[in-house]
Amino acid sequence: MRKILLLCIVLAGTLKVKADDGTKLFYALRTKILTVKDYTADVKMKIDVSFMRVPQLRGTLYFKAPDKMRLERNGGLSMLPKKNINLTISNLIPSGNVTVIDMGPVTVKGKKLRLLKAIPEDDMANIILTKIWVDEANLVATRAETTTRNDGTVIMDLDFGHYTNYGLPDKVTIYMNVKDYKLPKGVTMDYNDETEATKAPKSASQGPQKGTIEINYLKYAINTGLSDDKFGKR
């Protein structure tokens, strides 16, 4: 009996340590991400949705925490409103106090990662649950799967290289249901006649429309103190 009781105490202590470690890892990751207050990046962007052909975009992406973003396309200007596509990992992880569930080590594409589930303690938060695959050695999130109340589920894959120390990716791939997110008109529809996006008829039997956005970040300028005026009005 005493052995069983001792074993339970040891197991309980082990689980608590594991939970504490997962919580510390989440907050350390979030703190690193939030150290980036703004950036300017040269980007190549590819939008792939099932009902529309969109040419590859090149331009400059401006970001200012927590949610200001603007894409200045080569040859034109496009705004990315707040309620449209979340292009940054900082908008896909919960803010405030969270409950973290440490799911332990996982292997993805031959790389050892740590899987965390983060649940906001604020019942009114838009984010319901975020699953984060963390590269502990570099303290970066290589994947985030976020379920929200209003905007469906978004999956983001991140590849790191030159800007790992800032937690900024060289490449981001975002997967989503198109019905849950509006692609900004400036990004999808205001091309000239030569490069205009072409819509295909949508059948009711097609089911949910899937979309992918791939962004390659060619060069960053980080924490330069971007003015709010750079983003204009929503």
Does the pLDDT at position 19 exceed 70?
A: no
What would the mean pLDDT of 146-168 be, rounded to a whole number?
Answer: 91
Model pLDDT for residues 117-135, shown as the tens digit of each residue? 999 998 888 899 999 999 9
Most confident of 7-11, 16-20, 41-45, 75-79: 41-45
More confident position, 53 or 154: 154
Whether 89 contacts 141, CB under 8 Å = yes
Q: Where are the domains of the chain?
A: 2-223
Choose among 35, 43, 18, 73: nearest CA to 184: 73
pLDDT tens-digit profile of 60-70?
999 999 888 88
- CATH fold, domain 2-223, is outer membrane lipoprotein receptor (LolB), chain A (2.50.20)
176 or 155, higher pLDDT: 155
Mean pLDDT of 187-200: 38
Q: How confident is the model at residue 231 (pLDDT cuts 50, 70, 90)?
A: confident
Is residue 71 predicted with pLDDT exceeding 80? yes
Q: Where are the beta strands (DSSP E) in the chain?
A: 38-49, 52-53, 57-64, 68-73, 78-79, 98-108, 111-120, 127-135, 140-148, 153-159, 171-177, 198-199, 210-222
- What is the pLDDT at residue 177? 72
> What pLDDT does residue 109 have?
87
Is it the case that residue 211 has pLDDT exceeding 90?
A: no
Bridge partners of 208, per DSSP, are none
Residue 182 DSSP label: P
pLDDT at 15 over 70: no
